[in-house]
Structure 1
Amino acid sequence: MAAAADMYLPSDPSDPKRWICIYPSYLNSRRSIPEGRKIPKDKAVDNPTCAEIRDVCISLGLNCDVEMNKHYCRDLSRDPTFAGRVRVQLRNADGSPSSEQFPHRKALYQYIGSMIPKLKSRISKQGQATATVEDTLVASQQPKKKKGKKRK
């Protein structure tokens, strides 16, 4: 069976068809391992997106390509916000790692998981979320008017 699959894939590791696939579910802390998470929960991220994964790969200088029309097979919800996958070149044409920092895919997954919370888009979203929580706390602490009986 493996021989038949090799017949259709190019033998060159630098060919985009041979690049590794990273689905957002691989890095999602809300998923369990049977649901597709591939890294430890403490290194995973809360609901990552393909754009965030792409941003980290580009900042590392890795070749990557986003395929938004793809879905992870274990993701039953087919939610469009988490749709897509990112293909990343991990090996050069001669088979050597394209980055010495990432000899295998698990190292890349863990690094991406640690870098996504540091993205500017994540920091600004968290700032807005804490501001709305503070606003609701301030609004709830204001004294409310008491309703009494209507007088005739």
Structure 2
Amino acid sequence: MACAAARSPANQDRFICIYPAYLNNKKTIAEGRRIPISKAVENPTATEIQGVCSAVGLNVFLEKNKMHSREWNRRVRVQLKQEDGSLCLVQFPSRKSVMLYAAETIPKLKTRTQKAGGADQSLQQGEGSKKGKGKKKK
């Protein structure tokens, strides 16, 4: 009975692993990207992947003590199959389908859209204050 429980698809050890490097458009395939660059996202985080997967209804958890071998990014575990072997969600039959969905959804997150707008304003303010400080020192 213990062997059957260890092989169960619902066992957390059997969840698929997704690292942010798999979805990063800054990475090459040799560096770990696993989806086409046209569909990849710029510097995704493990918490963003966890958020979009859990929002769609997948059973997800973030492993804080596990990291990608070449990066500092954390590992996200996602359940694809239930205990009886059937899919949890029909629209996600494979690991790649989950990665493509996450890469498509992450740019639409509020944190991504706000960062893009807020970053431009802070850069402009920072540049103005630097110029002013430089003039005062002369």
Superposition TM-score, scaled by structure 1 size: 0.76
Relative to its length, the structure with more strand (as a share) is: 2
Provide the residue aligned with 2:111 in structure 1. Answer: 121
Moved over 4 A (4+): 133-139
Partner amino acid, structure 1, of 2:77: R
Flag the structure with larger Rg.
1
1:85 aligned onto 2:75: yes
> Which SS does the other structure have where 2:68 is aligned?
coil
1:49 aligned onto 2:49: no
Provide the residue aligned with 2:89 in structure 1. Answer: 99
Residue identity over aligned pairs, in percent, reads 45
- Structure 1 residue runs of 5 or longer lacking an equivalent are 1-6, 140-144, 146-152
**Residue 86 of structure 1: CA displacement?**
0.5
> Which SS does the other structure have where 2:29 is aligned?
coil
Superposition TM-score, scaled by structure 2 size: 0.84
Name which of 21, 25, 49 aligns with 1:29.
Answer: 25
Alignment of 1:35-74 (within 5 A): 35-73=31-69
**Residue 72 of structure 1: CA displacement?**
1.1
CA RMSD in angstroms comes to 2.4
**Residue 138 of structure 1: CA displacement?**
7.7
- CA distance in 1: counterparts of 2:106 and 2:33, whole angstroms: 16
